[in-house]
Structure 1
Amino acid sequence: MIRMLLRVLGREYAQPVRRTVALMTTTAVAEGLSYALLIPVLPALFGSTPADAWPWLIAFGAAVAVYAVLRYLGDLSGFRAGTTLLHGMYYRLGDHLARLPLGWYNARRVGEVSVLASQGVLQAMGVIAHLLAPFIFACVTPLTIVAVILAVNWQMGLAALVAAPVVAAIQLWAGRSMAATDAERAERDHDATGRVIEYLQAQPVLRAGGRTVERFRLLDDSLREVQRASRRSLLSALPGAVGLTLAVQAVFTGLLVLGAYLALGGTIGAAEVLTILVLAARCADPLLSLADIGGKLRGARSELARLDAVLRTGTLPEAREPVRPESHDLEFDSVAFRHGDRTVIGDVSLSVPEGQRLAVVGPSGAGKSTLLQLIARFYDVDAGAVRVGGVDVRSIDTEVLMSRIAFVFQDVYLFDGTIEENVRLGRPDAEDAEVRAAATAARLDDVVERLPGGWAANVGEGGALLSGGERQRVSIARALLKDAPIVLLDEVTSALDPVNEAAVHEGIERLMAGRTVVMVAHRMRTVQRADRVVFLDDGRIAEEGSHDELLRRGGRYAGFWHLSMAPG
């Protein structure tokens, strides 16, 4: 468990974890040894001079005080280590997720990652703060007490020692029997989370279909499966808990019988037997708590295994000796890219000189957006190379590559914050005047003036409080503020009304000025402003040339153009 925890977190966290484990183990041993001072106390109390017990009682009080200090330091160390690990885990998970290929993400993983980043990380990292100390005390303190009993009477010590392998065997058996139900419950939890997200996202469709009152069957079925899996998990835990209780009670009963036999035979005094039984009773509570602690540790281990699986997912490799491009022309050299078994891009070769504009058109599913994503290295190609300034994007440091590219998507996502905060994502250290200038160029200042809060107006989660056109203006202002030499545009005006489309086009024109541009467009009027046009079909270049040349040829592009210009 600890090894997996350190593997998930990294070697830099090993020292505080080991220090915490050592301190907690020392505290557990100190607690067990402190009970050894009860051995002379009871015989003295039952003897002819009870006052002889005072020195031992004082020593016992001092030992308890030392234990209390150690326990405080151990718990404090556990909480501090847990907080540090939680902080480090969130940073490591977030950094890793940001470097995973976009192809790794799908609808199912949205639910998995949301559960993992909230409940999973807290549960896994809570091991150090909340579970490690109880587990160590439940294991180490009883063993220390058994060692003390062995020192007092070897027969009763050996009888008490029988509990160790019995308890360990029951815990292993319970863990194995519950492994399947625990995994099933976790699987059902993740499925249900995905269904909840789907239900929320599908509200417009459900309401449009008049199903605002009707329950969502897929979500109901998923929640019922969670209920059934939870019931099976609880039932599978009962045999282990009952077995552990019976084992502890059986060992204690055996000690009682053996102690009575030895006392009646004169081998040991009644006071010593009573002392040993008191010590044995002190072992019972921590041993019985192992059933609950074991279940929580198994849950935490499952979450750790999921975190480990995510962190082991391969990221896009970084070049050992990155090269910085000196220019900003673009080139596709015999590029092929597959998504699963499907070839999305097949043997594409084209170039975009620095400062020129390339328009990519074609039917839906032709691979147009994928071309843009390959330039930004959202994926790595399966064959050929994508180059920026003559340098393969795989040889460019990711931060350097991203600093050279401004990407404006069709579907704009804004973070839940103010308009200004969302614009400043393009360049956080920009001066206020630069932010205002970018907003003016993107025609965003019109939006800011209309909103009650102005620049401090909140856009809502995902930009829900703004219209589609207003979100696009924020996105363009963000790209203008970034001032990157390469601009990638992905159908940015395909879903806008005429007023917003005119405003966005004006902003786009300012954004494209003097930059290397690759634009994907469905509205063919946008294509006329390009220096060259590529018609993509089924992942391959069907036609290439200027707008006028392609119209004169009367091929696929001309058909697209005339169809888009047709009235109605």
Structure 2
Amino acid sequence: MSSDTAARPSRARRTPFGRPRKDDGPRATFRQLLPYLAEHRAALILTAVLSVLGAVASLAVPLITRELITVVQRGGALGGLVGLVILLVVASALISGVQHYLLQRTGTSVVLSARTRLVRRMLGLPISEFDTRRVGDLVSRVGSDTTLLYAVLTQGLVDAIGGALIFIGSLIAMFLLDPVLLGLTATVIALSVVVVVVLSGRIRVASRRQQEKVGDLAAAVERAVSAVRTVRAAGATEREVAAIEQDARGAWTQGIRVAKVSALVVPIAGIALQASFLVVLGVGGARVAAGQTTIANLASFIIFLFLLVMPLGNAFGAVTSVNSALGALGRIEEIIGLPSEVELDAGIVPAPAIETTDALRFDDVVFRYPEKAHRTETEKAIADIAPDALPEHDRTVLHGVSFAVPRGRRTALVGPSGAGKSTILALIERFYDPTEGVVRLGGEDVRALDRGALRAQIGYVEQDAPVLAGTLRQNLTLATPDASDEQCVEVLRSVNLTEVLERNELGLDAPVGEDGVMLSGGERQRLAIARALLAAPPILLLDESTSSLDGLNEQLLREAIDAVAENRTLIVIAHRLSTVVDSDQIIVLDHGRVVGVGTHSELVGTVPLYRDLAKHQLLV
């Protein structure tokens, strides 16, 4: 099962005292951010051009101011110089407004691209990835983490282009005006840059940890809300609130750490500006008094100083936002970097096809769940600290399972809980691949088939009969979006759900609530079965499909399945043998092994386990 086997969890890093320390996780680099920006290169290029134009206008103002002071000192007419300054200021403001709109628009588009890409990858991951990941944390990555990418564009990244031009232009102009003052200014600024570089790494780590805590919080809320009735009934509301508050406080604590580090970065630009200004004012005043420079040059130098420090402040802000975004991007890229089902299939070499009249066939199938899906969270933590402290688990669920399912017949899988019945259906659907052996559909290794094409031939009703939030119609037509109203009504009638249609005037457009909460357990199960029946695939997999039904509805459902099962292959899992005694073939499983195959009457006489099951249910 190479496609689904996960690597052993990495060991946690340790403190000097030997205690495990939580890994900071994968960190994104700026290069990983570039693909998101490249999708919007046209808008970014236009924004960069506007930034350059704005920089040119800003650099021209001190030079014109210098000429104004010189003309005033000589007693000459100002002429059009004042008008030119006003024109430049207005043009700079207009350019800034257009640039702001483009940045906001592009930032929103980058978030959309990231969310679309992340959701597409997330929903295409192997099922084994969902066995160990919390839903709330995945939702947090789509919502909270992607939002931080917005700040990259709106808080100074693209402005850095114009800012760099202003910075370089100001340096050149200041060098030409007074190299001595420039040297003093550069010393102060260099010290501030060194401090920011040192702090930037801490911002990225703190931001990532904050996003992880936000993911923990989202997972805790999702857990409590999804089981709110159970929580209330158990009188555990206050305990759940306390647990969520603890996660919320953890997110708050990490947020405070980000704020503390950011608080050290933000004032640096102001300190650099004030220190530079005082140095220039003091030293520059002395140089004017000594006749080493002019008042006009000093005034122009001071304006260039402000222009120099302003993009520097923007750059410091960009460092904070970019490092925060890169921390979140690391969590996004962690998911995007996982191989999808399609990518995993590229490395599979399927077994040669065989000629057969069987619809499905298992040949010496061995299956064991990946270690990460098998171990509990406590066991994983122990394994991180002391990898040899835990004995190796026997994670094998199926042991050399072989059987054939005749085409157009009904096959039942029976056996005690944990025998491997649901795992067999999961292998047919290719939620997992066998560790050893082959699962065949029509004689062909299912790993040689496109998963979409494979699943289009199979209708699958899960044991817990999930219902999606939405309407009756949306649930029914999940696999058949073009089904007519008449077809939907007919299939609902076949599973005795006409009452659900009639109790709401919206009919097929009636909402079913989150997780189908507005339906009873039996109604949810029948709705899930109706969805599979509406698709009418050649193969139907029913996992405990009648477990929540009363006697009357069970009989009605059996009649509906009998009607739709004609000329179709059915594989049914049931604990109640009364629902499968008339099956064409019954396969008895125990501890992941096939211990008997035959009809009800044959198995009662030859397989002790089956006979015991039948006795307990008064069928013999």
Q: What is the TM-score normalised by the length of structure 1?
A: 0.89
SS in 1 for 2:478: helix
Residue pair 2:410, 2:569 contacting (<8 A) in 1 also: yes
Residues 383 and 248 (structure 1 numbering): CA distance in 2 closer, same or farther, change over 3 Å?
farther
Residue pair 1:170, 1:244 contacting (<8 A) in 2 also: no
Residue pair 1:346, 1:539 contacting (<8 A) in 2 also: yes
Instruction: Write the mapping of 1:79-478 to structure 2, written as runs, cut at 5 A.
Output: 79-106=104-131, 108-129=133-154, 131-136=156-161, 139-162=164-187, 165-212=190-237, 216-317=241-342, 329-341=359-371, 342-478=395-531
Residue pair 2:48, 2:158 contacting (<8 A) in 1 also: no
Residues 328 and 25 (structure 1 numbering): CA distance in 2 closer, same or farther, change over 3 Å?
farther
Residues 420 and 131 (structure 1 numbering): CA distance in 2 closer, same or farther, change over 3 Å?
farther
Residues 144 and 508 (structure 1 numbering): CA distance in 2 closer, same or farther, change over 3 Å?
farther
**Deviation by residue 1:511-559 (Cα, 9 ceiling, x = unmatched):** 4332122222112112223222222222222222222211111421221
SS in 1 for 2:572: strand
Distance 2:324 2:336 in 1: 18
Deviates more, 1:164-173 or 1:351-360: 164-173
Query: What residue is the counterpart of 2:26 in the other structure?
Result: none
Matched, 1:490 2:520: no
Q: CA deviation at 1:305?
A: 1.0
Q: CA deviation at 1:31?
A: 4.5
SS in 2 for 1:505: helix
Query: What residue is the counterpart of 1:33 in the other structure?
Result: 59
Distance 1:405 1:285 in 2: 64
Residues 129 and 560 (structure 1 numbering): CA distance in 2 closer, same or farther, change over 3 Å?
farther
Residues 448 and 300 (structure 1 numbering): CA distance in 2 closer, same or farther, change over 3 Å?
same
Deviates more, 1:340-349 or 1:486-495: 340-349
SS in 2 for 1:506: helix
Deviates more, 1:222-231 or 1:543-552: 222-231
Q: CA deviation at 1:304?
A: 0.9
Query: What residue is the counterpart of 2:69 in the other structure?
Result: 43
Distance 2:458 2:250 in 1: 46
Q: CA deviation at 1:465?
A: 1.0
Q: CA deviation at 1:25?
A: 4.8
Q: Which runs of 5+ in 1 are unaligned?
A: none
Distance 1:360 1:10 in 2: 53
Give the count of matched residue pairs: 563
Distance 2:102 2:261 in 1: 35
Q: CA deviation at 1:116?
A: 0.8
Residue pair 1:443, 1:507 contacting (<8 A) in 2 also: no
**Deviation by residue 1:110-150 (Cα, 9 ceiling, x = unmatched):** 12111111111222245335553455555553343333323
Matched, 1:548 2:573: no
Query: What residue is the counterpart of 1:513 in the other structure?
Result: 566
Distance 1:285 1:198 in 2: 47
> Cα RMSD (Å) of the superposition?
3.1
Distance 1:305 1:78 in 2: 23
Distance 1:396 1:279 in 2: 68
Matched, 1:4 2:11: no
SS in 2 for 1:47: helix
Amino acid at match of 2:555: A
The percentage of aligned residue pairs carrying the same residue is 28
Distance 1:41 1:485 in 2: 87
Query: What residue is the counterpart of 1:19 in the other structure?
Result: 45
Residues 205 and 281 (structure 1 numbering): CA distance in 2 closer, same or farther, change over 3 Å?
same
Residue pair 1:376, 1:402 contacting (<8 A) in 2 also: yes
Amino acid at match of 2:366: A
Amino acid at match of 2:229: P
Deviates more, 1:520-529 or 1:432-441: 432-441
Query: What residue is the counterpart of 2:85 in the other structure?
Result: 60
**Deviation by residue 1:70-93 (Cα, 9 ceiling, x = unmatched):** 444544443443343333333222
Residues 265 and 465 (structure 1 numbering): CA distance in 2 closer, same or farther, change over 3 Å?
same
Distance 1:147 1:424 in 2: 68
Q: CA deviation at 1:563?
A: 1.8
Q: CA deviation at 1:306?
A: 0.8
Amino acid at match of 2:32: M
Residues 369 and 142 (structure 1 numbering): CA distance in 2 closer, same or farther, change over 3 Å?
same
Deviates more, 1:173-182 or 1:452-461: 173-182
Q: Which runs of 4+ in 1 moved over 4 A?
A: 134-140, 212-215, 289-292, 318-323, 325-328
Q: CA deviation at 1:502?
A: 3.3
**Deviation by residue 1:219-240 (Cα, 9 ceiling, x = unmatched):** 2332333333333333333333
Distance 1:355 1:322 in 2: 29
Distance 1:331 1:245 in 2: 74
SS in 1 for 2:157: helix
Query: What residue is the counterpart of 1:525 in the other structure?
Result: 578
Amino acid at match of 1:102: I
Q: CA deviation at 1:152?
A: 3.0
SS in 2 for 1:132: coil
Amino acid at match of 1:47: Q
Deviates more, 1:535-544 or 1:22-31: 22-31
Distance 2:317 2:449 in 1: 51
Residue pair 1:358, 1:531 contacting (<8 A) in 2 also: yes
**Deviation by residue 1:426-446 (Cα, 9 ceiling, x = unmatched):** 211223333333233333333
SS in 1 for 2:397: strand
Residue pair 1:328, 1:516 contacting (<8 A) in 2 also: no
Q: Which runs of 5+ in 2 are unaligned?
A: 1-28, 372-394
Q: CA deviation at 1:339?
A: 1.4
Residues 55 and 551 (structure 1 numbering): CA distance in 2 closer, same or farther, change over 3 Å?
same
Residue pair 1:417, 1:459 contacting (<8 A) in 2 also: yes
Distance 1:256 1:10 in 2: 42
SS in 2 for 1:426: coil
Residues 402 and 246 (structure 1 numbering): CA distance in 2 closer, same or farther, change over 3 Å?
same
SS in 1 for 2:134: helix
Distance 1:182 1:554 in 2: 61
Residues 150 and 498 (structure 1 numbering): CA distance in 2 closer, same or farther, change over 3 Å?
farther
